[in-house]
């Protein structure tokens, strides 16, 4: 496989965009969909599913979640997983959390409240227990009881039952209690996690897969060292790979990658989210596409080069630029940037128009699209 080229790897990476019959099918195939609270023009999880599920509408995951085989959990970041994947993550042994250090009595009170209620809104439990506010992981403020719910969720003592306008509601997690009683062997859990990440983000530079495994320590806080050991063993013995332009890439052994194989490569234009598996690894993106894509939502405005929430734009298998989309007065506004050398042909413009129409339907807007 020494004759593989960046073009062959780009084509192989596009397998992640294979159409899925339903939201459940997409979750089952991807095994992890990253979540993010920013909505520009929609949340990251909705953008990821839009790219794969025909007819998907913003908010469908939130609406369908109670009836899906899905849980919110952490691997390698926060997101949505099927329960078979969550079984790899629990039982999770967690040290003393910030909320326990600052408010040691709260966790037991919230735990007791959860035992008596099938579903809890953070607002209601905060009103009942009357706690103050503490800092949260996003740099803002949350009630202490909400932080306690988050801690119990991370420990596997609670689950997210559904969301209401983006707010997580919580309830007991009997399926995770069962896992605590009869967990999968650690080796099976760790090996499964490495294979999952290799399949979701592959083909991937081996160094990037190592970084993903490092991030996965949040899913396995008590098995971090063992996870690194499992990664080295799986990468060496159970994945396959090749050097391309001096970069060692790895991917699942069951995949077949051939030079010049363009089977399944779409011919049109696609706009994907910044946390989509296709673009998540910036090292791979820069190597395969020849330019650096930047996510600048947390960059000071004066230093941004692509915009607040730039969405990568693909034509066939090549990333050619980015789009900033926002809704104003019921219209979808689009600003595009392109890398040097991209000719804005009639075919490209038609592809962009078709993609904006798809986004307009996804967002539930009317037939007007404004471009600037």
The predicted pLDDT at position 6 comes to: 92
Cα(80)–Cα(82) distance, integer angstroms: 7
Domain residues for the domain of 9 are 1-14+188-372
pLDDT interval class at 132 (50, 70, 90): low
- The pLDDT-based confidence of 130 (bands split at 50, 70, 90) is low
> What is the arithmetic mean of pLDDT over 281-288?
97
Q: In the chain, where does DSSP find H-type helix?
A: 6-13, 23-30, 44-50, 60-64, 83-89, 98-102, 106-115, 122-129, 144-155, 174-181, 186-201, 206-215, 224-237, 282-289, 346-363
User: Which of 126, 155, 181 is a domain's end point?
Assistant: 181
Residue 140 sits in a domain of what CATH number?
A: 1.10.10.10
- 42 is a domain residue: no
Q: What is the pLDDT of residue 277?
A: 97
pLDDT at 234 (0 to 100): 96
Average pLDDT, the chain: 91
Judge if 144 and 263 occupy the same domain: no
Rounded to whole angstroms, how far apart are CA atoms 76 and 231? 14
Same domain, 194 and 331: yes
How many structural domains are present in the chain? 2
Average confidence (pLDDT) over 254-266? 74
Choose between 257 and 239: higher pLDDT.
Answer: 239
Query: Token pair of 257, please?
Result: 């990658």
Domain final residue, candidates 156, 181, 206: 181
Q: Are residues 353 and 250 part of one domain?
A: yes
Same-domain check for residues 128 and 1: no
Confidence band for 64, pLDDT divided at 50, 70 and 90: very high
Question: Is 150 among the domain residues?
Answer: yes
Tell me the pLDDT tens digit for each residue of 299-347. 999 999 999 999 999 998 999 999 999 999 999 999 999 999 999 999 9
Cα angle: 29, vertex 31, 32; to 5 degrees: 130
Is the pTM higher than 0.85? The answer reads yes
Tell whether 201 and 229 lie within a shared domain.
yes
Which residue, 181, 199, 233, sits at the end of a domain? 181
pLDDT attached to residue 48: 98
Judge whether 351 and 315 are in contact, CB under 8 Å.
yes
Q: How confident is the model at residue 37, as a pLDDT?
A: 92
């Amino acid at each position: 496989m020494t004759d593989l080229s960046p073009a062959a790897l780009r084509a192989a990476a596009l397998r992640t965009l294979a159409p899925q019959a339903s939201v459940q099918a997409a979750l089952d195939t991807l095994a992890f969909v990253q979540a993010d609270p920013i909505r520009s023009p929609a949340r990251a999880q909705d953008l990821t599913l839009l790219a794969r599920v025909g007819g998907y509408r913003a908010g469908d995951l939130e609406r369908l979640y109670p009836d899906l085989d899905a849980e919110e959990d952490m691997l390698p970041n926060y997101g949505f997983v099927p329960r078979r994947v969550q079984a790899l993550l629990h039982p999770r042994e967690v040290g003393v959390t910030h909320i326990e250090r600052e408010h040691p009595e709260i966790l037991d009170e919230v735990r007791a409240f959860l035992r008596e209620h099938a579903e809890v809104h953070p607002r209601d439990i905060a009103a009942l227990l009357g706690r103050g506010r503490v800092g949260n992981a996003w740099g803002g403020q949350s009630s202490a009881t909400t932080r306690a719910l988050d801690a119990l969720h991370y420990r596997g003592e609670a689950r997210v039952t559904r969301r209401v306008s983006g707010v997580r509601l919580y309830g007991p997690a009997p399926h995770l209690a069962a896992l605590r009683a009869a967990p999968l062997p650690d080796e099976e859990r760790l090996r499964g996690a490495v294979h999952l990440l290799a399949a979701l983000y592959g083909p991937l530079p081996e160094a990037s897969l190592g970084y993903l495994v490092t991030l996965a320590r949040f899913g396995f806080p008590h098995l971090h060292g063992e996870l690194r050991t499992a990664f080295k063993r799986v990468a060496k013995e159970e994945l396959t790979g090749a050097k391309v332009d001096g970069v060692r890439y790895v991917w699942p052994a069951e995949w077949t990658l051939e030079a010049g194989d363009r089977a399944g490569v779409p011919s049109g234009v696609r706009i994907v989210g910044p946390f989509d598996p296709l673009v998540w690894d910036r090292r791979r993106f820069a190597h395969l596409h020849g330019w650096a894509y930047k996510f600048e939502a947390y960059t000071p405005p004066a230093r941004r080069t692509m915009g607040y929430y730039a969405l990568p734009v693909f034509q066939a298998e090549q990333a050619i630029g980015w789009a900033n989309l926002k809704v104003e007065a019921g219209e979808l506004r689009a600003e595009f940037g392109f890398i040097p050398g991209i000719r804005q042909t009639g075919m490209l413009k038609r592809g962009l128009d078709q993609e904006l129409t798809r986004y307009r339907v996804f967002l539930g807007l009317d037939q007007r699209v404004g471009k600037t």
